[in-house]
Chain A
Amino acid sequence: MNTSIKSWRNIPQARLAVWTLIAGEFVVFGGLIVMYILNRLKYESWGEMAQHTNVIAGTINTLVLLTSSYFVVKAHEAAIHKNKEKVKMWIWFTIICALLFLGIKSYEYTHEIMHGFTLPGKHLLAEGKHVETMYWSFYYTMTGLHGLHVIGGALALFFVMRHATKTGKDYHRLEAAGLYWHMVDIIWIFLFPLIYLIH
């Protein structure tokens, strides 16, 4: 009798589960992105609306997320060597990047809301721009949902890192959390040109 054996096959369970989760997440965002693209093709006036987004802030955010992905890779590398201090450092860098991303995003949101581009878009509606309100609805839904994933991913990284550094085991979980973090990053790579760049 052997109760300690969790698996007869040597696939790391966490990695397999996260890949499955990522497939599921891609269908959720894929659905949203397809809906957005179809509407975008239908309504040319959305191009004008896209000009009101802050492309510079978006670009900086893209860079921040890409850099954070690099940090996660470094953290994973450190985790393979079970280097506690380095794991801690690189994960904290990643989390700081996530916070920076969220900060810049909220700056953008504030700016846009101040200009009357809100989620339901009442100002636009009052101006008779019905169709354009939908652009902002999609903008907030997509980036908002992505933002939730950023928060979720950062929390996952934090808890996995704390568990691993405190107990000195389960370092392999960092790889799984890291995979999820890359997914968050890649989704942004899709959202950024679709929302900000195409005028």
Chain B
Amino acid sequence: MNTHKKHGFWHRFFFSLDHKDIGFQYMLTIFLMVSIGGFFAYVFRMHLAYPDMKVPLFGLVTNKDYNMLITNHGLIMMMWLALGMLLAVAGNFLIPIMIGTDDMAFPKLNKISYWFFLISVILMIASFFMKRGGFGGGWTMYPPLSVGDFGYNTPYKSFADRFFTANTFVLLAITFEFISLLMGGINFFVTTLNKRAKGMTLTRMPMTVWMINIASVLFMFSVGPLIAGAFMLLLDINVGTGFYDAYRGGDPLLWEHLFWFFGHPEVYVILLPPLGFLADIISNNSRKPLYGYRFILNLTLIAAILSMMVWAHHQFVSGIDPRAATIFSIFTIIISLPFAGIILAYIATIWKGNLRLSLPMKWALGSVTLFTLIGGFTGLYLGAAVFDIYAHNTSFVVAHFHYTLFPTVIFGSYAAFYYWFNKFTGKELNKFWGNVHFWLTFIFFNGFAFPLFLLGLAGQQRRIADYRQFEFLMQDPLPLYRKIATISAVILILSQFIFIINFFWSMKKGKKVSSENPWQSNTLEWQTSSPPPHGNFETYPVVYHGPYEYNHPDREKDFLPQNEK
């Protein structure tokens, strides 16, 4: 199958139907988006710590700029980085090769998904350059803020006047992205159900494949109402309907419900794929079978169902009925149980294993530690309405969700990068710089996010451009905390360049991998050459075991590939 000829740049980056090429296209597009999102974070963090300073590379930050920066930072990181990296990139790279097949079930549909994704990115970037400036209504886009400068009662001038606004473009961008991910999800689902290698039963699939699929299906079932809702908000902005206009009997709360009915399951959509990577990486690096494969799987399914019933915990201060708040509090606290179970299973996997502290394992351990001990744990506090009413809209919440999202999305993605890089490029990442990158990220992430807890408990609200207007927030040591957070955030962002340089340098000039299976892993992707050829396998593998047969007592080798008898 290696007869496939090498294609040029245009073919590889624009027209290729190969799942690895499409995954790579997604990855580059997302790198672009993350750079923008990270740059925005740098600008507004600098502004918060040093309000009068002209931020290098940006200039003086006005209040309007500030709104635009935080809004787009949130949107880009949640919608394009998290969803894109963990569903589109991971799904494209890993699903076909891990289940032992040549490509997606529908390669053309896969290509179209990427084109839609690209359109969404272009629309999003275009939204920064609209006449009235970028979108500044908060990443949750609550109406009436998201209806724009017009509000509901401004006379309607012309269609173009309303259409060429950041609000319209952001909504269109998100709609396009959702359509892209929906098509991608259908592709993943059909590929997984239909194209598994011979002998690859559902319970012999690696956890990663399971988790990406559950996440895709969960995404599909939660995003529908928001697509309808976004359509309605577009009509509100552009045509002048009043779906979210209280004066006309519409309800701004309706958007909050629609948004969070998607938004909360989305948190799990982006949590599950990293949990899948972690299962594979931890089991591989502990040289032990994954503890409780079916146990984890069942808990995940329970969590996926429960995640559809917790959305209103984002709205405890939006005027919902206190009786409903109690119910949502209870569900929110219940949903931590399945995840606690999954994390315990991971710890049981590590327990008494022959640990290899390789780079992916470091990221995996960092992810589990931070996510469980701080992110998940503060979630219990915030899930209870009694506490949330005080902490809502403070930096405490910001710290909490950075502690949940950063360890899962960023640490999880890095664990996957460092683990699978060898496979897809045939080169090795530089270990020394990998270690530097890990420790800088780990330390300065904490340095950035932890002070926000303290600031939040001291009463610092989110989404305020200049804290000098509040005397109690300028007392010592609060400004110092803000400076620590900012300096850490800047170093955190700078240290990501180490990875980017390491990534591209190693891809071009890195050391060639010494063997096809450097991690001595069981899963199918390691049983083919690195990088895998077009079509992935020379001969299609036949599967005889589950993916986690490490240290079998009857075997000499401590691993047993899935395709070996």
Q: A-side interface residues toward B, CB under 8 Å?
A: 1-3, 5-9, 11, 13, 16-17, 20-21, 23-32, 34-35, 39, 42-43, 119-122, 125, 130-131, 133-134, 137, 141, 145
B249 lies within 8 A of A13 (CB): no
Given contacts A23-B220, A141-B241, 20 further A-B contacts (CB under 8 A): A1-B539, A2-B540, A3-B535, A8-B195, A13-B105, A13-B106, A17-B109, A17-B186, A17-B187, A24-B224, A27-B223, A29-B224, A29-B228, A31-B224, A31-B229, A122-B240, A130-B248, A130-B249, A137-B241, A145-B231
* Contact A7-B228, Cβ < 8 Å, known A20-B186, A119-B239, A120-B240: no
Confirm or deny: B232 has a beta carbon within 8 angstroms of a beta carbon on chain A.
yes
Task: State A54–B343 Cα separation when bound (angstroms).
Answer: 58
A3 lies within 8 A of B224 (CB): no
A24 lies within 8 A of B196 (CB): no
In the assembled complex, 13 residue pairs joining A and B whose CB atoms fall closer than 8 Å, in A order, are: A2-B540, A6-B105, A8-B198, A9-B196, A13-B106, A17-B109, A17-B186, A17-B187, A20-B220, A27-B221, A31-B226, A120-B240, A141-B232
B221 lies within 8 A of A23 (CB): yes
Contacting A at CB under 8 A, from B154-194, are 182, 185-187, 189-190, 193-194
Q: Which residues of A contact B559 (CB under 8 A)?
A: none
User: A137 is contacted by which of B190, B235, B247, B254 (Cβ under 8 Å)?
Assistant: B235
B250 lies within 8 A of A7 (CB): no
User: B194 is contacted by which of A9, A35, A122 (Cβ under 8 Å)?
Assistant: A9
A17 lies within 8 A of B224 (CB): no
Confirm or deny: B370 has a beta carbon within 8 angstroms of a beta carbon on chain A.
no
Q: B-side interface residues toward A, CB under 8 Å?
A: 1, 102, 105-106, 109, 182, 185-187, 189-190, 193-198, 220-229, 231-232, 235, 239-243, 247-250, 254, 258, 535, 538-540
Q: Which residues of A contact B243 (CB under 8 A)?
A: 134, 137
A131 lies within 8 A of B249 (CB): yes
Q: Which residues of B contact A131 (CB under 8 A)?
A: 248-249
- Residue in chain B with minimal CB distance to A5: B540
Task: State A32–B196 Cα separation when bound (angstroms).
Answer: 36
* Contact A20-B189, Cβ < 8 Å, known A1-B539, A137-B241: yes
User: B241 is contacted by which of A2, A3, A119 (Cβ under 8 Å)?
Assistant: A119
A28 lies within 8 A of B248 (CB): no
| Nearest Cβ on chain A to B531's Cβ, whole angstroms | 19
Q: Which residues of B contact A23 (CB under 8 A)?
A: 220-221
* Contact A120-B241, Cβ < 8 Å, known A1-B540, A20-B186: yes
B197 lies within 8 A of A35 (CB): no
- Residue in chain A with minimal CB distance to B227: A28
* Contact A39-B241, Cβ < 8 Å, known A24-B220, A28-B227, A30-B225: no
Q: Which residues of A contact B194 (CB under 8 A)?
A: 7, 9, 11, 13, 16
* Contact A125-B220, Cβ < 8 Å, known A2-B540, A32-B228, A141-B231: no
* Contact A133-B242, Cβ < 8 Å, known A3-B1, A27-B221, A31-B224: yes
Q: Which residues of A contact B196 (CB under 8 A)?
A: 8-9
- Residue in chain A with minimal CB distance to B191: A13
- Residue in chain B with minimal CB distance to A7: B194
Q: Which residues of B contact A35 (CB under 8 A)?
A: 225, 228, 254
CB-CB nearest 6 A-B residue pairs: A31-B225, A27-B224, A131-B249, A120-B240, A28-B224, A137-B241
Q: Which residues of B contact A17 (CB under 8 A)?
A: 105-106, 109, 186-187, 189-190
Task: State A108–B240 Cα separation when bound (angstroms).
Answer: 21
Task: State A103–B492 Cα separation when bound (angstroms).
Answer: 60
Task: State A50–B390 Cα separation when bound (angstroms).
Answer: 45
Task: State A145–B229 Cα separation when bound (angstroms).
Answer: 12
Q: Which residues of A contact B197 (CB under 8 A)?
A: 8
- Residue in chain B with minimal CB distance to A35: B254
Q: Which residues of B contact A42 (CB under 8 A)?
A: 249
Task: State A19–B182 Cα separation when bound (angstroms).
Answer: 13
| Nearest Cβ on chain B to A181's Cβ, whole angstroms | 18
A16 lies within 8 A of B190 (CB): yes
Task: State A23–B219 Cα separation when bound (angstroms).
Answer: 12
A134 lies within 8 A of B105 (CB): no
Q: Which residues of A contact B187 (CB under 8 A)?
A: 17
| Nearest Cβ on chain A to B212's Cβ, whole angstroms | 15
